[in-house]
Amino acid sequence: MSIKKDAQTAHANLLEKTDPEALERINHFAFDEVQADVDLPDRTKMLSTLAYLLGMQGVDEYKVMLSVALDNGVSPVEAKEVLYQAVDYLGLGRVFPFFNATNDVLRARGVEMPLPSQSITTMDNRFEKGEETQIRLFGPQMKDFAKKGTINKWLVDNCFGDYYTRKGLSDNDREMVTFCYIAAQGGCEPQLLAHAQANIKLGNDKEFLMKVIEQNVPFIGYPRSLNAVTIVNKADEAVNGKD
């Protein structure tokens, strides 16, 4: 299987009879040109695209690309982890329709649910484990971050304790998909800068993040992609200094 072949076929099934001219250019740009120019593993491309489509609320395209992702290196567990983590960055109101979309695709493929548990925290230790994770990813200055306010506390026990601690995705995967959720939303540039810096510090460097942005230009469009490029440049300068 390949992203190019699978995605072009899926879009042709939807558009060939009604919009052949649009289909020709969509398939060429998104799945010939971009896939040839962006040098990332297929799994990374697909994880980032699922996160971008969640962030931009592209539920119909998400269903198409979820099937492509499952045939190109993404496991059902990994797809569900991208979905679950999105709740804290996009809000339940925006993510809930994607639960139905994801489950429809998995059921159609004969995947038995619920999937094996990936949780490693309990209701008793989620705060403690969340703080440990936040400090590991963002540095020792995050110690006692929760004391600064109620939302800060929720970020520790809920965002980090409930989701970032889970198995199924690595720290690098989770920071990448978080970058994608936020970049796709727009209007969250301070948070995007913070997570771009966290990515770079983890090893998802400027070159990597630029490739992630490029991979998803066909799905999110140019304005928010160019905004994300600006943020990545600022983050790299902050972490590594000027050239």
Model pLDDT, residue 1: 62
Tokens of 158: 């809920």
Nearest-angstrom CA–CA distance, 102 and 227: 29
- Do 199 and 179 contact (CB within 8 A), yes or no? yes
Tell me the per-residue pLDDT of 186-208, one tens digit each, with 9 for 90 and over.
999 999 999 999 999 999 999 99
Tell me the per-residue pLDDT of 53-83, one tens digit each, with 9 for 90 and over.
999 999 999 999 999 999 999 999 999 999 9
Q: What is the pTM of this model?
A: 0.96
Only one residue has tokens 């999937």, namely: 115
Instruction: Average pLDDT across each block of 10 residues of the chain; the chain has 243 residues. List them in order.
Output: 93 98 98 98 98 98 98 98 98 98 98 98 98 92 94 97 97 98 96 96 97 98 98 97 71
Model pLDDT, residue 138: 87
- Do 220 and 65 contact (CB within 8 A), yes or no? no
User: Which residue from 21, 68, 14, 76 is spatially nearest to 45, judged by alpha carbons?
Assistant: 68
